[in-house]
Structure formats: C-alpha cells, structure tokens
Structure 1
Amino acid sequence: MVTPTTPTPPAPDAAPQRAASRRDVGVALACGVFVGLMVGAAYAAVPLYDWFCRVTGFGGTTQVAAAAPHAILDRRITVRFDANIARGLPWRFEPEQTKVEVKLGEVVTIYYAVTNLAARETTGTASYNVAPTTTGAYFSKIECFCFTEQVFKPGERREMAVVFFVDPKLAADADQDDLDTITLSYTFYPTRTPATARASGS
C-alpha cells in the first residue's frame, strides 16, 4: 500500500517581503521628518510671532526707532503710563508722572522709578504694550529699560528712562481720528537670579 505524501508548499516569494520592508522604512522616515518639522515650527513660532507683532504693532506691540521723525504736527495726544509687577518679584515700580500731553512726532522722555524691596539681588524683565492696541504701529521707542534684563542690588532704587514719540503717520489713519489718549503699560516679571545663574555656570 502506497502512503500518499503531502506536497511541500512552495517557498514564499521574498520580493513582496522586501517591498513591504521598504514601505515600512519609508513610512518611518516620513514620520520622523514630519515630527522634526513640527518641532522646528514650534521653536520658530515664538520669534516669528514676536517679529510679526513688532512690525505690525499687533496686540499693541510698540515699535523701535533709531531716530526722531522729521516732522512734528500740532495734533496732541495724551499718553498715560501704567506700571505692574508680577507675582514673585519684590519690587516697587511706578511712573514718576501718570500722564503727559505730546504732539505727534515730538520726542519725549519720561521716567519710571524702581526699588528692589528684597535683601538680595533680584532680576526682572519688562513686557509692554499700548492701548488701544491699534496704536501699536504708531508708538515708537528710541530708548527703553524694557530692551534689556534689569538687575537690582538689595534695596537699590533706580530711575529708568523711556524715550518715545507718537508717529506723525497716525494723523493719516482715519480710524484714529477720534483718538485722544494712549496708555503705555509695563509689567515686570522675575527672571533668573544671579545666584542661580552662577550655580548653573551661566
């Protein structure tokens, strides 16, 4: 009696396996590139947004000017000054005058007084904007303490200047015809302390 034999199945073709493997590698690479692009976009978003705000005045972001404008107009604007301290920064911060009346194009210098109330050295950085926010494109600063980090010794008091002007171009903006007051507002936030910086080796 002859015992029937089971036919041996043919060996699987290696070509489809290689193709599938290549597809997997391609998908993994594409995912890696996508993640890398997203991470890069996240890091770029902040400086790009900051640049956009500075150029357009969006959100009340003020402008930076190197020199005074070439014209001074008779139209006057009242500029009010606001000062705030974020939690965690032991400072007293206030404008030496609460408001000033300026002509469009006139360069004005005002001062804020800051006192470190702590018995240790402290460091702060100021954020700023103007209201109404639509005036950010016309409010230019030539000099400001907000451009740099401020370090105060224990108990130190300092007068810090802001040199600014309201651009005469504002007069050509019909949306600003009824504008008579701009508020310049600052908020100081705590940053790294010098002791922390030394400990970290920076």
Structure 2
Amino acid sequence: MADGIQNGQAKRVSNAAIFAGCAVFVAGMVGAAYASVPLYRLFCQVTGYNGTTQRVEQYSDKILNKSIQVTFDANISPGLNWEFKPAKAVSPKIGETVQIEYSATNRSSKPTTGSAVFNVTPMEAGAYFNKVECFCFTEQTLQPGQSVQMPVVFFVDPELATAPETKNIKTITLSYTFYPSEPSKPVAALPEGQKAGAQKTGTQNTGVGKL
C-alpha cells in the first residue's frame, strides 16, 4: 500500500515537472518570436549560417563557362500590408555579376515601414552566394500607394562548382521576407553655438569669448 502511494506521488511529481518544462519552453518560444528579427539579423551578419548569403565589396575576377539557375522568392509577414514581388529567374554563368530587382507596393492608407531578412536554399549554397548590393536589413518606408524597385547585385562564387557539398547544385533560390518595423528616429543635432561638452554637463554655451 505504501509503495502504491509513493509511486502515485512520484508520478504526480514527474507530471508536474514535465508540465513546468513545457510551460518554460512555450514561454521561451513566445519570447523568441518577438526577438526573432533582430536576433536573426545579428546572427546572420556574424556567422552567415543556415543558408544566409555573404556580403562582399568587389566582383568576382573569375567566370566559369557553366551556368546555374537562380530563382527568387518574396514573402510578407502578417501586419505589413504590402505587395512584394520577386524578380524573374535568371541563369547566369558562375562568377558572373548579375543585377535583379524586387518590387514592393504599400497597399495601406498610411506610411508604413518594413525591414527584410533573407536566406538561400539549398543551405550549402549560402556561403557561395555573394551579394554586392542588396536591401536586406535596411528600413524601407513607403507612402500610401507608393511602389519601389529594390535591386540586388550578386554573383555565385566559382568555388561552388568544385566544393564537394555544392558541386552538384543546379538551382539556388534567394528568398526575402519583409517584417513590419518602426522607422528609426533621427539623432537630434546640437543647437547652433552649443558645444558638445556643454550638452553633456547640462550647461549652455553662452558664447562668451566668441569672436
């Protein structure tokens, strides 16, 4: 009888522990959802992990006589009333620099701001997809009904054709997702004639000694 009571108590304790663990997990996932965009941005910029592309300052100096198909995908997060269209697929030579354009239109009746995150599939190709110019992580504020063209300039690193994990890849897809964001407030300029040091101490520059 005593063993049965102990077993019942142990089972209740175990169930309570499982429930508590699930609650903590759910709370963590909710928090992660709110922080996902800025954390994703930081993580991508630092690591280039999980199919994220590389940002470079110069073009490829080598072009192979081999083409690869590049397709494009466009997504909008709930809460942003935009129309977001991808560019048409292209088939550049590996190493060739290409410019394409996405387009976005604000369908709401007020100015709205969005910021885009991105990824590349298959994930193994992310390290070889080099962007020279893009609109990722840059705030885009559109007026009601306004449309914009957003260029992306890129090339596929020739090493993709020889790396064991990527040499058989025939198609790469670049995908962007726009999320709603609050426009950044401009930093207020110092009043004319006021010194930076005076602002820090809370004193005003009276202009004494000024020629």
- Whether the TM-score (by the shorter chain) exceeds 0.5 is yes
Matched, 1:89 2:80: yes
The residue correspondences of 1:107-186 to structure 2 (distance < 5 A) are 107-186=97-176
Is residue 68–residue 94 contact of structure 2 (8 Å, CA) maintained in 1? yes
Counterpart code for 1:164 = F
SS of structure 2 residue aligned to 1:135: helix
| Structure in which a larger fraction of residues adopt helix | 1
Q: How does 1:37-116 map to 2 (within 5 A)?
A: 46=39, 49-54=43-48, 58-97=49-88, 99-116=89-106
SS in 2 for 1:145: coil
Q: Which residue identity is paired with 2:59?
A: A
Q: Where in structure 1 do 4 or more consecutive aligned residues deviate above 3 Å?
A: 46-52
Could you say which structure has the higher strand fraction? Answer: 1
Shift of 1:148: 1.3
Q: In angstroms, what is the RMSD of aligned CA positions?
A: 2.0
In the superposition, the TM-score normalised over structure 1's length comes to 0.68
Q: Hey, what's the Cα distance between the residues in 1 that align with 2:47 and 2:119?
A: 10
Q: Which structure 2 segments of 5+ residues have no match? A: 1-38, 189-211
Q: CA 1:48 to 1:116, structure 2 compared with 1: closer, same or farther past 3 Å?
A: closer
For structure 1, which runs of at least 5 residues remain unmatched after alignment?
Answer: 1-45
- By how many angstroms is 1:48 displaced? 6.8
Percent identical: 47
Deviation at 1:177, TM superposition (A): 2.1
